[in-house]
């Protein structure tokens, strides 16, 4: 969803993540909301981002989800409601992250498993961790991949380790090798 929204306009994603824009006016050190008739074209465009974001979010939801967010006043509020509903609170995310880190650390190729299946399982874990803001560099992931095959793969692993630059190689290229 973030990729889709950002492809339309980064301002829309900004409104979802940071809340709607309200032009303000300062008179005698008193700050108040600027009347709509005094908005500049730029202010009007920034304020419109929230409306566009709410429309995009509402259009992507099924009937039940729509009713969950329909009382929300802003796209940020809609997004936050959906995020807590589907991803949980920060405590739940933290617990899920710890479970996934343990899965990552214990990851091994299963008996009879083919590389495509290993890649799918590994990518699933890594993508979920990245969505929970865990960061990996290419070398770390590549070294992890080279550690999980069984003994029958040892000659191939050794060959790749000695001949490839693991700091720049993508996971896809490594698994393809």
Strand partners, 58: none
What pTM was estimated for this model as a whole? Answer: 0.59
Tens of pLDDT, residue by residue over 3-60, are 999 999 999 999 999 999 999 998 888 999 999 999 999 999 999 999 999 999 999 9
- Domain coordinates in residue numbering, the chain: 2-87, 90-176
Distance separating alpha carbons of residues 62 and 60, to the nearest angstrom: 7
Tens of pLDDT, residue by residue over 124-176, are 999 999 988 899 988 899 888 888 877 778 888 888 888 888 888 888 888 88
CB within 8 Å of 175: residues ≥ 6 apart: 115, 118, 119, 145
Among 151, 160, 11, CA closest to 75: 11
Among 72, 120, 131, 69, CA closest to 97: 131
CB 104 within 8 A of CB 130: no
CB within 8 Å of 35: residues ≥ 6 apart: 25
Place of tokens 């824009």: 21
Distance separating alpha carbons of residues 158 and 130, to the nearest angstrom: 28
Strand partners, 33: 24
């Amino acid at each position: 969803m973030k990729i889709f929204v950002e492809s339309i306009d980064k301002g829309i994603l900004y409104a979802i993540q940071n809340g709607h824009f309200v032009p303000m006016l300062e008179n005698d050190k008193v700050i108040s909301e600027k009347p709509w008739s005094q908005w500049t074209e730029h202010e009007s465009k920034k304020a419109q981002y929230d409306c566009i974001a709410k429309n995009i979010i509402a259009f992507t939801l099924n009937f039940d989800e729509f009713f969950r967010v329909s009382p929300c006043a802003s796209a940020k509020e809609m997004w936050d409601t959906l995020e807590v509903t589907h991803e949980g609170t920060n405590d739940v995310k933290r617990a899920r992250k710890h479970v996934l880190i343990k899965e990552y650390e214990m990851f091994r190729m299963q008996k009879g498993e083919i590389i495509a299946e290993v890649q799918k399982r590994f990518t699933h874990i890594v993508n979920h961790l990245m969505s929970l803001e865990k960061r990996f560099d290419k070398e770390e992931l590549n070294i992890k991949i080279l550690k999980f095959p069984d003994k029958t793969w040892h000659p191939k692993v050794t060959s790749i380790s000695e001949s490839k630059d693991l700091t720049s190689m993508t996971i896809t290229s490594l698994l393809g090798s």
